[in-house]
Structure 1
Amino acid sequence: MFLGKKILLGIFLFAALAFADVNFYSQDTLAFDTTSQKNFQRYSAVPVLGYTEETQMQLGAMILFFLKPDEVGGKVPEIGITAYGSSRGQFQFTLEPYFYFYHDKISLWMDLEYQDWFASYFGRGNNPDIDDFVNYNRKKLYLGARLESRVGLPSYLKYGIELHIESSDIEFKDGDDVPLPDPHSGSRNGIGYLFGLDTRDNTNWTSHGFLVEWTQIYFSDQFGDYTFNLESLDMRGYTTLPFGSTAAMGFLWQRAGGDVPFDMLAGPDGIKRFRGVESLYFGDNQALILQSEVRRYFGWIFGGHVFFEGGKSGGYFSELMRNKWHRSVGFGALLALNRSEKLFARADVSWVDFDHVGLSFYVRQAF
């Protein structure tokens, strides 16, 4: 989302203190004992308030429920529920459970989402004009699932499957000079696989380690209305710095081939990869995104980070390499929703292409 042209006001109200069932400690550390009933945190909640030209007033809330692990020291399962709407009748609901099995060697993430919302389309390619776009309305029902396993392999290797089931109804408003794509309304159903090398010490707040992950998802008109495929190579590295800080570096290459819906092309999501822009602000058949960030926990429930990101897209690899980089520099505020699990909510401010300012809000780190 952009400030100025599109965002008049954006407020992320962190209210975990008022709504969290947790005992906070004064020491400057992220971790504390959660094995006892007294210290185990059961839930946390955050209200969200904002205003945009497209949606007018937005109001909603997010609540996270934490479940006790099956064994001492195990990962804590959680269920996240987010719901918000606008004064123009828009609405979005998301249910995200995270579960762990078999001594945390198997993890299951699910995402059930219903959306009736406005979005902006800037055209296809790497050279969008921020002032030249067309709005569209999307009604979407989506179910995603990712099952990862380390069973039978060394602890630093993983494999898994990914499921994507979606029904979308997209309607474009009248466009000016932006060529309108095929909306690809209907069913987009696919299944894929992943392989990874993962040595991260913690997935919510990584202090050291690295990740290399290859993912492919195949969509077929035998199961839905369109045939296409998505693939990505995700590489991340983390190291500790003086004064309790952490440096994070990220590399993401994406490719989309076949009869790809315009909203599933390769490009930034605006929340985790190249923060502060509209989803697919620049998007095409291939995309490359580089990220760097320094994070620090200040104490109690507060933290922060500064970051620099670059990204570009192209129709094919040689064009991708020739195209210019989009750049973004920014900073973010962090609020601990569950200190024992090192789980933070974040609000980021980005200076995109050194020309316009963007906002992004999310739970967990960007990468």
Structure 2
Amino acid sequence: MPLEKTIRLVAFLVFWVCTGALWAESADTSATKTEADDFQRFSALPILGYSEETGLEYGAMLLLFFKPEYEGGRSTTIDFAVIGTTKKQLEVLIVPRYYLAHDRIVGEAALTYDNWTSYYYGIGNDPDPDDGRMFDRSTIKAENTTLTNLGLPDTWHNFMYGLAFQLEYTDITFRKYHGTLAEPGTDDKWRTGIGYQLAYDTRDNSNWARHGFYAHWNHLAFSDRLGDCRFTKQELDLRGYTFLFWKTSMAVGALWQRASGDVPFDMLAGPDGIKRFRGVEDHYFRGNQTLILQAELRKVLFWRLAGTIFFEGGKTGDYFSDLMREKWHQSVGFGGELGLNMQESLYARGDISWVDYKQLGLTVYIRHAF
């Protein structure tokens, strides 16, 4: 990404943070006036950004917070977001995160519609960022994961198990292209996956963990009886957190993904560019297996502001031994954070990263990357 475009992105980010701070402050004030216990009911902020394939991005996000079932419990939240671009692209998100039965049933759901533009750089670990096939994608997707520890001994309260599913309809159309990159052969539209997830969670807070450990194993099987393709996806996610000094904490993470079978190219293993390996396009490098490592220092500054410094590495391969032999993609960067709900330790973030020490990227999102 050229430097002048990054400067424009930073300018948008400054406006976004300042305006979002006012909206979040307004939400706090409203809650104080209407609730005796000062519980914050909502937070809202604008979305402004810029990318080469979308032009100017604009929109808004609203976050609703519901009182925990008991003192010290976790708050159910619902995120609403609408994002449009000057290139007539649109994305609409509804994401509930719920805690029931005194936090013994937890889950996250998402309903997404997007009409977006992306690039396909081929399959493998060595994409050429200057040679990508542009395609238009229209997707309607519903997904949910619900976990519980009901039935387990009290000493196992950190362990959870549950079901997961993903249902989506995706229509992809490639634009005219004059290079040598072959178009992936897939016309699959309906994808229906059903599976399970196992988790272990000792974090002190799911939004900003200062100490603890989190791990999950997720397995989804996509059926050609319920959709247009048959394949499986597995994911192992490991994260650790510790408090250091001077309101500074450290987070480290490792993510391994595997996709096998008749996998559509847009569902192969790879970074999402927002949470895992920030600053690259979605699935910039992709394959049957992907490994991503992350480390980040997080520090509370003053008022609602916080800052981060991070390092990330990632690579992909056809199988495990091939994955181990591949070279690492690397990224270093820093970011600023704005507290949207201090009671929930919920922050919005903007991260600037230097990918492979060659190109710059910017990521704006809600909640920490991992």
Listed as ranges, the gaps of 5+ residues in structure 2 are: none
Alignment check: 8 A CA contact 2:215 2:239 kept:
yes
1:307-326 to structure 2, matched below 5 A, reads: 307-326=310-329
SS where residue 324 of structure 2 aligns?
helix
SS where residue 263 of structure 1 aligns?
helix
2:72 is equivalent to residue 70 of structure 1: no
1:61 aligned residue: 60
2:231 is equivalent to residue 232 of structure 1: no
Bigger drift between 345-354 and 191-200 goes to 191-200
Distance 1:193 1:281 in 2: 27
1:3-42 to structure 2, matched below 5 A, reads: 3=2, 9-10=8-9, 11-12=12-13, 13-14=16-17, 15-20=19-24, 21-23=26-28, 37-42=36-41
Cα RMSD (Å)? 1.7
CA shift for structure 1 position 7: 6.4
Residue identity opposite 1:257 in structure 2: S
SS where residue 260 of structure 2 aligns?
strand
CA gap of 1:366–1:53, structure 2 versus 1, over 3 A, is: closer
Distance 1:52 1:247 in 2: 30
Alignment check: 8 A CA contact 1:171 1:183 kept:
no
1:66-145 to structure 2, matched below 5 A, reads: 66-145=65-144
Alignment check: 8 A CA contact 2:21 2:338 kept:
no
2:163 is equivalent to residue 161 of structure 1: yes
1:172 aligned residue: 174
Distance 1:91 1:3 in 2: 25
Bigger drift between 209-218 and 10-19 goes to 10-19
CA gap of 1:58–1:16, structure 2 versus 1, over 3 A, is: closer
Distance 2:56 2:172 in 1: 23
CA shift for structure 1 position 50: 2.3
Q: Deviations over 1:281-305 (max 9, x none)?
A: 1110001110000101112210011
Residue identity opposite 2:306 in structure 1: G
Q: Deviations over 1:99-145 (max 9, x none)?
A: 11100111121100000010111111000111111110000000011
1:337 aligned residue: 340
CA shift for structure 1 position 201: 1.0
Distance 1:325 1:179 in 2: 25
1:291 is matched with which residue: 289, 294, 304? 294
Higher relative contact order (CA 8 A, sep 6+): 1
CA gap of 1:7–1:332, structure 2 versus 1, over 3 A, is: closer
Residue identity opposite 1:149 in structure 2: T
TM-score (norm: length of structure 2): 0.92
Listed as ranges, the gaps of 5+ residues in structure 1 are: 25-32
TM-score (norm: length of structure 1): 0.93
Residue identity opposite 2:272 in structure 1: D
Residue identity opposite 1:358 in structure 2: G
CA gap of 1:305–1:276, structure 2 versus 1, over 3 A, is: same
CA shift for structure 1 position 274: 0.5
2:368 aligned residue: 365
Alignment check: 8 A CA contact 1:346 1:364 kept:
yes
Distance 2:83 2:8 in 1: 16
CA gap of 1:123–1:93, structure 2 versus 1, over 3 A, is: same
Distance 1:278 1:348 in 2: 14
1:28 aligned residue: none
CA shift for structure 1 position 184: 3.4
CA gap of 1:349–1:147, structure 2 versus 1, over 3 A, is: same
Alignment check: 8 A CA contact 1:6 1:54 kept:
no
Distance 1:163 1:39 in 2: 37
The alignment of Structure 1 onto Structure 2 pairs a total of residues equal to 356
Bigger drift between 80-89 and 319-328 goes to 80-89
